[in-house]
Amino acid sequence: MTLNWALPAGAILAAGLFVMIIRGFRGIERNLYAGALIVAAAVYLAAALVIGSPVDIVTEAAGMVLFAGLALLGLWSGPVWLSMGWLLHAVWDTVRSVGANALLPLWYAQACLGFDLVIAAGIFWHFSRAPQPDQ
């Protein structure tokens, strides 16, 4: 069954959140994006712990380490790592939501895919502009 509403709903939610963050949280944007990336990975790990197999738990724990590492690199080395982390999480959403790999409902994976892609693009756009004094 295909869902036509979830992907754009996730993208619209991300766009609104992105605008709110860049307007209201100047100077801590990277911290928020990094924390949210860790939370996004933690959702999959939590699902694996509740309904997954041992292989799912190991896979999602490895994903948690990967995304936490990208989040930390984004904080310490530059926002391009955050953008890459969100792009990779979009791939993760897609791979982990098909067939026997599905831990979460299709609507969640599709909404998360739309969200992740917009956040990744927004981070890249925002931080690739001319440096600002509060960054």
Residue ranges covered by each domain of the chain: 6-18+27-128
Name the band, by pLDDT with cuts 50, 70 and 90, for residue 135.
very low
Q: What is the 3-state secondary structure (H, E, C) of the chain?
A: CCCCCHHHHHHHHHHHHHHHHHHHCCCCHHHHHHHHHHHHHHHHHHHHHHHCCHHHHHHHHHHHHHHHHHHHHHHHCCCHHHHHHHHHHHHHHHHCCCHHHCCCCHHHHHHHHHHHHHHHHHHHHHHHCCCCCCC
Q: What is the pLDDT of residue 96?
A: 84
CA distances from 29 to 33, 64, 90, 96 (A): 6, 21, 20, 28
Model confidence at 126: pLDDT above 50? yes
Q: What is the pLDDT of residue 26?
A: 75
Name the band, by pLDDT with cuts 50, 70 and 90, for residue 77.
very high
Q: What is the pLDDT of residue 28?
A: 82
Angle made by CA atoms 123, 69, 103, in degrees to the nearest 5:
85
Q: What is the pTM of this model?
A: 0.85
